[in-house]
């Protein structure tokens, strides 16, 4: 359920602008429009794909999907991971420009640290597509393709409420809030989406954040690293939950969800309702086992497929399909976006959510 509608969106945009000199919002438009494509280029052209560190299964899968899909379409893929950090990704994008890439797809480690390289790309005539994470504070990005990440947060917040109510009909409920890495533009969007659902319940006393840590800055998990989330969970449990029960935890993804559950088990506490995202294998198994409460299905195959469709349309000089022209202001320009719808997954629908997934389908049968 959308709690605040456009007012919630405006608040989220303002908060992100204050945090990173940017603004990431959303609209409720269900119709698709088009925007002009670039000039046609040879079909066997080099296509660069700059991916971040291998912090989750979906990024690893994306590498294979981009290599296979672009090759099948007749292009020459150059798919790189920047496991060494931002400077490595900067160097990789520069190298793609030097090699003559016609399109560069960027899943940024830090979307605000690539300005020089994106300028190089545009000066060379390349088209730049932000993939999954918005590129910030630059006019040198042409398109954005992603799942609706504000909606992801809304689904996570509602799942937390639903899961706790299923275990205990009435509150108040003791909860803790976790967020992703502050250098990932999506992390604040996830958090704001969730808080659009949760904050009214905090304000009316239904939810109690026992630690008092309710801001994004207090909840962040640097690098999306499990060890950082587990360390913070250990500290929260020791400092705030001596005798109190922990009913629920807002976790922005599956890796952090499992880290929180590990901490709770080590503390000998009953397992709380814990949210997640990315449909990682171990978390799907955990949902089936009745431990992690929920995840978000953002099928990487569909996201990569649409990114490759954008490349095909650019190559052919076609207009690109865009379903959000207004929401994704990166601090310098509003980036035309194509958003895919996310799906909440709990024990109730885990056996049907992945029926077509070659990896998760057999696990959930």
Q: Which two tokens stand for residue 61?
A: 């899968």
Greatest alpha-carbon span in the chain: 67
Which class would CATH give 5-147+299-340?
Answer: alpha beta
Model's pTM, two decimal places?
Answer: 0.83
Could you give the C-alpha distances from 193 to 60, 90, 93, 345, in angstroms and in order? 26, 30, 31, 17
The count of other CB atoms within 10 Å of the CB of residue 291 is: 16
Q: What is the mean pLDDT of residues 295-307?
A: 96
Alpha-helix runs per DSSP H in the chain: 5-20, 57-72, 86-99, 115-123, 149-167, 185-203, 216-219, 226-240, 254-266, 281-288, 300-315, 350-353, 360-364
Q: What is the mean pLDDT of residues 151-161?
A: 98
Name the band, by pLDDT with cuts 50, 70 and 90, for residue 139. Answer: very high
Q: pLDDT tens-digit profile of 208-258?
A: 999 999 999 999 999 999 999 999 999 999 999 999 999 999 999 999 999
Q: Is the pLDDT of residue 78 over 50?
A: yes
* Residue where the block lists tokens 């304000």: 203
Q: What is the mean pLDDT of residues 164-190?
A: 95
Task: Report CA 31 to chain centroid distance, whole Å.
Answer: 23
* Residue where the block lists tokens 């559950």: 261
Task: Tell me if 50 sits within 8 A of 104, measured CB to CB.
Answer: yes
Whole-angstrom Cα distance, residue 358 to residue 360?
6
Name the band, by pLDDT with cuts 50, 70 and 90, for residue 39. Answer: low
Across the chain, mean pLDDT equals: 90
Q: What are phi and psi of 47, to 5 degrees?
A: -120, 120
Task: Tell me if 82 sits within 8 A of 89, measured CB to CB.
Answer: yes
Whole-angstrom Cα distance, residue 135 to residue 142?
10
Name the band, by pLDDT with cuts 50, 70 and 90, for residue 200. Answer: very high
Domains 5-147+299-340 and 149-297 are alike in CATH topology: yes
Whole-angstrom Cα distance, residue 330 to residue 352?
36
146 beta partners: 339
The one-character DSSP state at 223 is G
Name the band, by pLDDT with cuts 50, 70 and 90, for residue 10. Answer: very low
Task: Tell me if 149 sits within 8 A of 327, measured CB to CB.
Answer: no
Collapsing DSSP states into helix, strand and coil, what is residue 320? strand
Q: Where are the domains of the chain?
A: 5-147+299-340, 149-297
Whole-angstrom Cα distance, residue 118 to residue 142?
10
273 beta partners: 248
Share of the chain above pLDDT 70, in %: 89
Q: Which two tokens stand for residue 187?
A: 């992390």
Whole-angstrom Cα distance, residue 16 to residue 101?
32
Whole-angstrom Cα distance, residue 238 to residue 113?
37
Q: Which superfamily does 149-297 belong to?
A: Response regulator (3.40.50.2300)
Task: Tell me if 253 sits within 8 A of 56, measured CB to CB.
Answer: yes
Whole-angstrom Cα distance, residue 19 to residue 17?
5
């Amino acid at each position: 359920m959308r709690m605040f509608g456009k007012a919630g969106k405006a608040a989220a945009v303002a908060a992100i602008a204050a945090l990173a000199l940017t603004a990431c919002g959303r609209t409720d438009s269900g119709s698709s429009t088009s925007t002009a494509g670039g000039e046609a280029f040879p079909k066997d052209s080099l296509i660069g794909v700059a991916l971040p560190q291998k912090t989750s299964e979906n990024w690893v899968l994306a590498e294979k999907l981009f290599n296979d899909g672009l090759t099948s379409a007749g292009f020459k893929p150059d798919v790189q991971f920047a496991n060494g950090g931002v400077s490595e990704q900067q160097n990789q994008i520069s190298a793609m420009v030097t090699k003559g890439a016609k399109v560069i797809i960027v899943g940024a480690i830090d979307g605000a640290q690539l300005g020089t390289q994106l300028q190089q790309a545009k000066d060379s005539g390349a088209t730049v597509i932000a993939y999954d994470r918005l590129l910030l504070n630059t006019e040198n990005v042409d398109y954005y393709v992603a799942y609706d990440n504000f909606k992801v947060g809304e689904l996570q917040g509602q799942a937390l409420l639903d899961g706790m109510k299923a275990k205990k009909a009435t509150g108040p409920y003791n909860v803790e809030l976790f967020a992703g890495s502050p250098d990932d533009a999506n992390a604040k969007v996830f958090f704001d989406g969730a808080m659009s659902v949760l904050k009214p319940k905090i304000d009316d006393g239904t939810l109690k954040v026992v630690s008092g840590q309710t801001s994004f800055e207090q909840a962040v998990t640097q690098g999306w690293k499990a060890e950082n989330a587990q360390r913070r969970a250990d500290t929260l449990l020791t400092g705030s939950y001596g005798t109190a029960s922990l009913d629920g935890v807002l976790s922005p993804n599956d890796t952090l969800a499992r880290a929180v559950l590990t901490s709770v088990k080590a503390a000998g506490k009953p397992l709380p309702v814990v949210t997640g995202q990315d449909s990682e294998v171990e978390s799907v198994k955990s949902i089936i086992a009745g431990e992690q409460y929920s995840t978000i299905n953002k099928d990487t195959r569909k996201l990569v497929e649409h990114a490759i469709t954008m490349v095909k349309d650019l190559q052919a000089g076609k207009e690109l399909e865009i379903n959000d022209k207004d929401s994704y202001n990166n601090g310098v320009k509003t980036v035309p976006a194509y958003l895919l719808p996310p799906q909440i997954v709990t024990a109730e629908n885990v056996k049907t959510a992945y029926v077509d997934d070659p990896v998760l389908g057999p696990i959930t049968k």
